[in-house]
Amino acid sequence: MTPDEYCQEKAAKSGSSFYYSFLFLPPERRRAITALYAFCREVDDVVDECSDASVARIKLAWWRTQVDQLFAGQAEHPVAQALLPHLASCDITRERMLAVIDGMEMDLDQTRYLDWPGLRKYCWHAAGVVGELSAGVFGYTDPRTMEYAGKLGLAFQLTNIIRDVGDDARRGRIYIPVNELQQFDVKAAEILNGAYSDRFTALMKFQTERARQLYQEAAQSLPEADRRAQRPGLMMAAIYHALLDEIERDNWQVLHQRISLTPLRKFWLAWKTWVSGGRGLVRRLAKR
């Protein structure tokens, strides 16, 4: 198996919505974004699959050495080997890749966040910096595109947090800020026990409005000159924003189930955004 085939298999097996945005890219950029996604999956799996935090730390430290070797031109792991040809042309930086690993380590160190600034920092490491890395792969000419990409990553991560409230709680993590749980008088035990209430609904509506604000700010930040190049990210925005709408329509019934879109609907949203160049989506998100 070649490094590119390894990354392709890793991406395809994940079942992630991100995979749909890869399908429409030219071959070279598709190989680059698939390798980048495979890297993110590798380090994320370290935290998800290691029950012993000390073992997870050792593995993440090993990945840090892999990043250093990658930028020294001495790639060892198949993912690093697949990334190597794309570093310069896709603006993939060592600092951003290490920031992704920092985000994984935050999950080992912290299971609760006091307030939104603390959670926002985590969301940037978990997804905002991935948005910036991805924007480099897709191509950009205006530095403001990085602001767009970072905010879009934050919106994606917050959408994930809203969708996974119940699942995360059963794994010992409640990402919703402590001060906002207190503000809406929602106890952690209620989330763990799957207890719905008007208070919980109000809390989730508040989180959803924050996510929608981030989608709006991202759309408003995207320079017109880079809109077509950034269509893959906009395809993901179409899918994730539709997911957020679906969660709201289901009245935030996220404690006992994981709400999702069908693969066919994801593909349709991705295709529609690609064909339209994302113009309508950007206009809709920017206006809210």
Q: Give the model's pLDDT for residue 89.
A: 93
- The pTM (predicted TM-score) of the whole model is 0.93
- Two structure tokens written together for 33: 């974004």
* Average pLDDT for 156-182: 96
Q: From CA 111, how far away is CA 271, in angstroms rounded?
A: 37
Q: Give the model's pLDDT for residue 15.
A: 65
pLDDT at 16 over 80: no
Q: Which residue has the higher pLDDT, 49 or 203?
A: 203
Q: From CA 176, how far away is CA 155, in angstroms rounded?
A: 14
| 97 neighbors 39 (Cβ within 8 angstroms) | yes
Least confident of 100-104, 260-264, 284-288: 284-288
Q: Give the model's pLDDT for residue 37.
A: 93
Q: pLDDT tens-digit profile of 48-86?
A: 888 888 999 999 999 999 999 999 999 899 999 999 999
Q: Give the model's pLDDT for residue 288.
A: 67
* Average pLDDT for 183-211: 97
Proportion of the chain above pLDDT 90, given as a percent: 82
Least confident of 13-27, 32-46, 82-96: 13-27
Q: pLDDT tens-digit profile of 248-270?
A: 999 999 999 999 999 899 989 98
Q: Which residue has the higher pLDDT, 19 or 251?
A: 251
Nearest to 286 by CA among 161, 192, 152: 152
Place of tokens 């370290």: 46
Q: pLDDT tens-digit profile of 118-135?
A: 999 999 999 999 999 999
Geometric angle at alpha carbon 120, from 233 and 133, rounded to 5°: 35
Q: Give the model's pLDDT for residue 51.
A: 81
> Across all residues in the chain, what is the average pLDDT?
93
